[in-house]
Amino acid sequence: MRHSLPLLPQFYVTAPQPCPYLDGRVERKLFTALQGDQAIPLNDALSKQGFRRSQNVLYRPSCAECTSCYSARIRVADFKPSRSQKRIWRRNAHLGRETSTPWATEDQFQLFRAYLDARHADGGMADMDIFEFAAMIEETPVRSRVIEYYRPGQEGSNRRVLSAVCLTDVLDDGLSMVYSFFEPDSQGNSPGTYIILDHIEIAREAGLPYVYLGYWVPGSSKMGYKSRFAALEVFRNGGWHDIGDPGRYATRIDPMSSEPISDQVARISLPDMVRTMRDQARGPGGEST
């Protein structure tokens, strides 16, 4: 029997599983596939609504009893580094940057493995092999770049050493940092913070208004650093709002905190291209054809 892929995005919900950010919580995600000509406009549109990309999937937390994950982005024009961030910038001045199309290399994978073993040995990506890593980097249906950071090698050597990597999507309104990793031994120089600062500079030079950081989770030690950036917005109640005081965000469990999935999907705004396809599929009477 012949099967055809649907023209319109279909939304699904994952089965509940342990939350990687808050102990004792259960996470659930709303997700849709990225495919065909609609992939780029759909990624642009849904990123503005709190979704994140992983390979050819867009997802957003949709937990049944918890709303503690907030998509976060920095307003580039309003950002001013703190004194500690200025020091971090100077400490990493020796790093060189190179940008390329998404292509996985052996050096990247070795750095990735060292990063996971040192910082996330018990995480969901701990068992990734080189083929899964290559898929993470290369399987992208949208505008993506690999941004590599190199440090000088030993004195007297012309060899450079790969120090950090970030897989980055280029949206119509900003840069979305999909995943980054770095040398564990460089942690004292705060390379994660430096990569964000450098992305702010790249976005400023490109005239892009935002840098998307992924999810900020109050109460999570893994995600707390994001709230230290000025001009930070979080997506809540259907729109972007200045984060304000990070301490006022609660992390309690509330069975009434999450909307029904059908209501969440109904409120998703699709790009013009996809809306036109939907209307054509419905036909003149408003019914699906």
Does residue 132 fall inside a structural domain? Answer: yes
3-state secondary structure of 27: strand
pLDDT tens for 68-80 read: 899 999 999 999 9
pLDDT of 285: 56
The string of DSSP codes covering 161-224 is EEEEEEEEEE-SSEEEEEEEEE-GGGGGG-HHHHHHHHHHHHHHHHT--EEEEEEE-TT-TTTG
Judged against a pLDDT cut of 60, whether residue 3 lies above it is answered with no
Judged against a pLDDT cut of 80, whether residue 210 lies above it is answered with yes
Does residue 288 fall inside a structural domain? Answer: no
Nearest partner of 41 among 277, 213, 274, judged by Cα: 274
CATH label of the domain that carries residue 109: 3.40.630.30
Question: CA-to-CA distance for 227 and 220, rounded, in angstroms?
Answer: 11
The domain of 162 spans: 73-229
Does residue 201 fall inside a structural domain? Answer: yes
> What's the pLDDT band for 6 if we cut at 50, 70, 90?
low
pLDDT of 220: 83
pLDDT tens for 163-196 read: 999 999 999 999 999 999 999 998 889 999 999 9
How many distinct structural domains can be found in the chain? 1
pLDDT of 5: 47
Question: CA-to-CA distance for 58 and 200, rounded, in angstroms?
Answer: 23
Judged against a pLDDT cut of 60, whether residue 219 lies above it is answered with yes
CA 132, distance to chain mean position in Å, is 18
Say if CB 169 and CB 142 are below 8 A apart: yes
Does residue 182 fall inside a structural domain? Answer: yes
> What's the pLDDT band for 274 if we cut at 50, 70, 90?
low
